[in-house]
Amino acid sequence: MRETIIITAADSAYFPLCRSLLASIRGHAEGASVDLGVLDVGLTPEQRRWLEGIGARVAALDRGVVLPDRPLAGPGSLAMAARVFLPRHFPGHAVYAWIDADAWVQDGAVLGLLTGAALRHGFCLVPELHRAYDYLFTPGLGHPAREMHHLAYTGYFGAATADQLSTLPIANSGVFAGAADAPQWGAWADVMATCALRPMDQFLEQAALNFALAVGAMTAWRLPPTCNWICAHALPMLDGRGRLVEPIEPHGVIEIIHLTTLKDRDVVPVARVEGGSVRMSLGWPGRHQSAS
């Protein structure tokens, strides 16, 4: 049994992001020999062959496993919900780590951190909780991030529960890891299956995860926010060594950059730790820079 497999999902449109993520993993000593898995939610035959050529294991998403009786609200919703069933799609591993395709690994040490935390604690994830995330310090539901999640919680659990869940930090499901035999997988799936039976959308599995954690149906070890940096909440800064770092002192190195609302080649202004700024892409490896 290979200890860890790192899994993502992609269709033909997301394939360039998927390819960058996998290349970023393979570019570190910690990821040079780790097993890779890709859930196929609409890849072309050529894309599948490329993935298999680099040693990635490609698995067709099994609709019979992922809430087969639930209608879909959008084409991406099935891929989101499928992450709850990773051990069933890729059997034979001790640890299952997930990284969204619109993320990439800057510091390979995070791969060992994910594996170790999953083995010791059963399950680990990264809350959207950092002092640079300004929306956390905005009272009420006046920020789009809070409104978006409150709406999802309301649809699945009702208004009263949504009011309670919306006061808590969001447990982001874009980066996590779990031991193969951890009970958290079943607890997460059970909550997801009993959510109000509205069409499955892209928030179902994350809403279920946050509910399960809030009511104690499952536990998870919390990793630092740099293990899943949400660019939609705060852009990173660039240090003198060309690394993306926290935008608040002491400017720690960010292990995983999660583009979220940004596109791979979007050019944005990024402040330098030493002063000034550059306009650059935050995707991997295309950090095309020009002084501003």
Q: What pLDDT is recorded for position 34? A: 95
Give the pLDDT score at 291: 36
Burial (CB < 10 A; 0-12, 13-18, 19+), residue 261, is exposed
Nearest-angstrom CA–CA distance, 215 and 272: 42
Tens-level pLDDT at each residue, the chain (292 residues): 479 999 999 999 999 999 999 999 999 999 999 999 999 999 999 999 999 999 999 999 888 888 887 777 666 788 889 999 999 999 999 999 999 999 999 999 999 999 999 999 999 999 999 999 998 888 766 678 888 889 999 989 999 999 999 989 999 999 999 999 999 999 999 999 888 667 677 788 999 999 999 999 999 999 999 999 999 999 999 999 999 999 999 999 999 999 998 877 789 999 999 999 999 999 986 443 333 3
Which residue is listed with tokens 């660039």? 238
Strand bridging mode 2-10 / 35-40: parallel
Radius of gyration of the chain (CA): 19
* CB distance 25 to 107 below 8 Å: no
* Domains within the chain, CATH numbers bracketed: 2-130+164-224 (3.90.550.10), 226-291 (no CATH)
Write the CB contacts of 207 (distance below 8 Å, at least 6 apart in sequence): 149, 152, 153, 156, 157, 195
Q: In angstroms, rounded to a whole number, what is the distance separating the alpha carbons of residues 147 and 177?
A: 27
